[in-house]
A and B are shown apart, each in its own frame.
Chain A
Amino acid sequence: MSTRERRKPGLWVVVPAYNEAEALGAVLRGLAEYLPRVAVVDDGSSDRTAEVALESGATVVRHAINLGQGAALQTGIDYALARNASFICTFDADGQHDPASIAALQSALAGSGASVALGSRFLEGSPGMPALRRATLRAAVAFTRLQTGLRLSDAHNGLRLLTRAAAERIRIRQPGMAHASEILAAIARERLRYIEVPTRVHYSAYSLAKGQGVSNSVKILFDLVYAAWSR
């Protein structure tokens, strides 16, 4: 990458990935138009995640050990900020997001005056979403409203677009999966203006196996109570 390319401001796509070698290649091919400004944060994977990312032409930021998705996201955001990103998009590595949604988030954010665009699975229907997953996500939405006062339709979507100013004001301290609520709490605390943008999610057997189950939400809840207490 030339020095000029490095200084060029623009959109960075941050993809946190832990043992995602199987799905990551296809995800990065889908993100081809954003390469090489895709930062894959390899969160201490034991498979070929880093190699797959490098072969695809993405930038790889590698955690020496597995820290959790929240920590990986923050590392990716730090990296993108250091590379003068003016916009940062967070994108899941398991193939559930549609790369075309990024453009939708960008154009929605551009005219809105908001500094955060959040993807939502519920503004339009998400066919193929299992009933239990739907119920868990609904509960998360209710919890978010209680905790932050934000009236969202989807509280745990990995697809987001942040302006540089917004990204600088969000610090993710929860290394695990509680970061989604933590980001929303930061949006509420910092009074950042946000919009929700309908995005489709593709549920494959792979992304479902990787996704968050009901038992995990109990752990997330505990992490959040701890975070609120220790702030």
Chain B
Amino acid sequence: MIGSILLFAIIVFGMYVASHRLGGLQLLGALALLAGGITFVVWPSAAQWVAERFGVGRGADLIVYFAIVGGLFAAANFYFRFKRQEQQLIAIVRELALRNARLR
């Protein structure tokens, strides 16, 4: 049951990603996420196998660690993008303010 719900969620995520143009690195990350997600849902023992190779006790732990690192990367990505856009917004508002001031 949970497996089919997760698979459905992963497929929806895949369709969502496919409908957007992504850059090389982002596309690679999304594809890795999709492939990993499907693999671990269909063969839960695969996570255990990989975890043992990495010296992590359980497969679930391995997935949590990767999820945390991935989440941190995503958060940092959003933060820096926000800061960049903030600078662009400031430039636009300032340009507008200076132009209007000269018209007066």
Contacts and interface: CB of A to CB of B under 8 A. Distances in A.
Interface of A: 39, 41, 59-65, 67, 71, 74-75, 78-79, 82, 173, 175, 226, 230
Given A75-B98, A79-B98, A79-B101, A63 B87 contact: no
A227 to B, nearest CB: 10
Contact of B94 (A59, A63, A226, A230): A63
A70 to B, nearest CB: 9
Contacts of A79: 98, 101
B77 interface: no
B96 A67 contact: no
Contact of B97 (A64, A173, A175, A226): A64
Given A60-B104, A67-B89, A71-B93, 10 more contacts: A41-B97, A61-B98, A61-B100, A62-B101, A63-B93, A63-B97, A64-B96, A67-B90, A67-B93, A79-B98
B98 A230 contact: no
Contacts of B96: 64
Interface of A is mostly: mixed
Interface residues of B, number: 15
A61 B101 contact: yes
Contacts of A82: 98, 102
A65 B96 CA distance: 11
Closest 4 CB pairs of A and B: A61-B101, A75-B94, A61-B97, A63-B93
B83 interface: yes
